Amino acid sequence: MAMALGTGLRSFVGGAMSPPAAATAAAPLLQVRPQAHRALQSIQSQWHQSCQGQSEVVHSATRTFSSFSKSRALAARPFSSSPSSSTWMGSPTITTSAFAASTSTHNLRRVRQPHQSNNYSTTTSAPNISTPTTSLSLQQHRLLSSLHFARSWQGQVEKFNTSFSPLRRRSFSTSQNNKMSFQLFCLENPLLDIQGKGDEKLLEKYGLKANDAILAEEKHLGLYEELLTNHDAKLIAGGAAQNTARGAQYLLPPNSVVYAGSVGKDKYAQILHDAVKQVGLRVEYHVDETHPTGRCGVIITGHDRSMCTDLAAANCYKIEHLKSPEIWSLVEQAQVYYVGGYHLTVNVPAILALAEEAAQKNKTFVLSISAPFIPQFFKEQLDETAPYWDYVIGNETEALAYAESHSWGTTDLTEIAKKLALLPKRNTDKPRTVIITQGTDPTIVAIGSASGEPTVKTYPVHPINPEEICDTNGAGDAFAGGLLAGIVEGKTLEQSIDMGQWLASQSIRELGPSFPFPKKTYAPLQ
């Protein structure tokens, strides 16, 4: 298929096919985005090679089109039904002959695609091409025309695919070209954290505990406004797995992490989008127009935090979004999948789709238990994912809740870790690694073994002076982010855990689930 696509585009470049004819040949093939990107790269490469040794005029055009080629989408309108029409894709006249003869400028402009009506990414205009086209060779004219044609037709095919999909995809993304290598794919519930300092009286008013996480009920809905009005609350991009994704991207090279979830069509979604964009995280949000963006009330009491979550739009994630060609191509690129346990309350089939992809292709699937109520009230859903766990992460209260919900009759965390490591596993090529954090106490790690007796080790945390602690909210998410960064980079288990400990120690020095800027460099525990 890739060869056929390349042949179709090369035929047009060489002048053997008109734009409409080339489009007819390439249309069914351009639906396969990875192959299309490779073909476009080939065209760009030919263009650059053809310009070697020519004048600054040519190099100016090269730079312009190099910038243009990075745009995610270009104006795309249907072909005219008339073969003699001089209008190509609804653009100004740019058939090969007219383009070669023209001495005027031709403006190419990024526009919002019809299927991107809910994509909040800002559109920008590409630079004008002020270079006289008569300065270019015929081959170069054809290359430039081919590049414009292929990009435009790709956008038209995307419109067609989306229009006929079972669920018209609505997205809110910081997306870049899928040719980039995103090694880590994260899925869960994006939330806006409304975080303020409180006391026992506030906790009692809403029936909350000092170090807990629950889903909001009707009686809790007044908490969010009270935090904003009376407790000088801060608005912070949250959602456990989104925090983890930001943490992993903090340590990894650019374009390493992508995150998916569902948000509302409101200003809070824009706040989330802007916040994650600043740290370089790619997000692919499904936009639900019937619910507001989810929110999490966070009450800080001393070094503890109590979280009360109203999922709202986050509860509306659709597997059709995950399985859409653009998003699933990112899934296929990734080598590590991370799912926060909170998503077990939302869309188990989406979790299992990632888990099965990992098992079939010997990739790595990581799950965080996330909160005690997950094993307590969503035991069946949690157990459905258990055979796929290559890594499972939880803190001491979550591990104890799991043991209790499964009637293991023990509160010994080491024994619980061993039992988790020995649960049946789908991909037997990889032993399961169980990680139980304990705040400032050493982290317990149990690794499954074919012999039946797991290996157990403990790892110390990075020390921090009490007066340096600003906020423990998100420390566990930060640990998972550092751990995942190590896994993605192929570090040893010891190194990966230490990266998690280091990032957690940095996070608790900041307000909310945040990380220091300017960026700090990971320093292993001595």
* C-beta separation of 476 from 486 below 8 A: no
- Residue 526's pLDDT band, with cuts at 50, 70 and 90, is confident
- Residue 450's pLDDT band, with cuts at 50, 70 and 90, is confident
Least confident of 27-36, 77-86, 416-425: 77-86
- Residue 454's pLDDT band, with cuts at 50, 70 and 90, is very high
Q: What is the pLDDT of residue 437?
A: 98
pLDDT of 98 above 50: no
Q: What is the pLDDT of residue 40?
A: 53
* C-beta separation of 179 from 70 below 8 A: no
Count of H helices and E strands in the chain?
19, 15
Q: Long-range pairs for 209-212 at CB < 8 Å and ≥24 separation?
A: 209/306, 210/301, 210/302, 210/304, 210/306, 211/304, 211/305, 211/306, 211/397, 212/306, 212/307, 212/371, 212/372
Which of 288, 310, 471, 477 does the annotation list as catalytic? 477
* Tens digits of residue pLDDT in 134-154: 344 555 555 555 555 555 544
CATH topology of domain 172-507: UDP-N-acetylmuramoyl-L-alanine:D-glutamate ligase (3.40.1190)
Q: What is the pLDDT of residue 81?
A: 35
Higher pLDDT, 301 or 390: 390
pLDDT of 387 above 80: yes
Q: Strand, coil or helix: what is 221?
A: coil
Please provide the size of the chain in residues.
Answer: 526
pLDDT of 96 above 90: no
Pairwise CA distance, residues 278 & 518, whole Å: 12
Least confident of 122-131, 164-173, 251-260: 122-131
Pairwise CA distance, residues 153 & 18, whole Å: 14
Does the annotation count 477 as an active-site position? yes
The mean of the pLDDT values for the chain is 77
Q: What is the pLDDT of residue 174?
A: 58
Q: Where are the domains of the chain?
A: 2-164, 172-507
Q: In 3D, which of 161, 153, 120 has the Cα closest to residue 324?
A: 161
- Residue 451's pLDDT band, with cuts at 50, 70 and 90, is confident
Least confident of 171-180, 216-225, 278-287, 400-409: 171-180
Pairwise CA distance, residues 432 & 440, whole Å: 24
177 — phi, psi (to 5°)? Answer: -60, 140
Q: What is the pLDDT of residue 498?
A: 98
- Residue 304's pLDDT band, with cuts at 50, 70 and 90, is confident
* Tens digits of residue pLDDT in 485-505: 999 999 999 999 999 999 999
Which two structure tokens, joined as six digits, stand for 90?
């609804």
- Residue 180's pLDDT band, with cuts at 50, 70 and 90, is low
- Residue 492: left if φ>0, alpha if ψ -120 to 50, beta else—which one? beta
Task: Let me know the angle formed at the C-alpha of 438 by 434 and 443, rounded to the nearest 5 degrees.
Answer: 50
Average pLDDT over residues 314-332: 98
* Tens digits of residue pLDDT in 113-123: 333 334 433 33
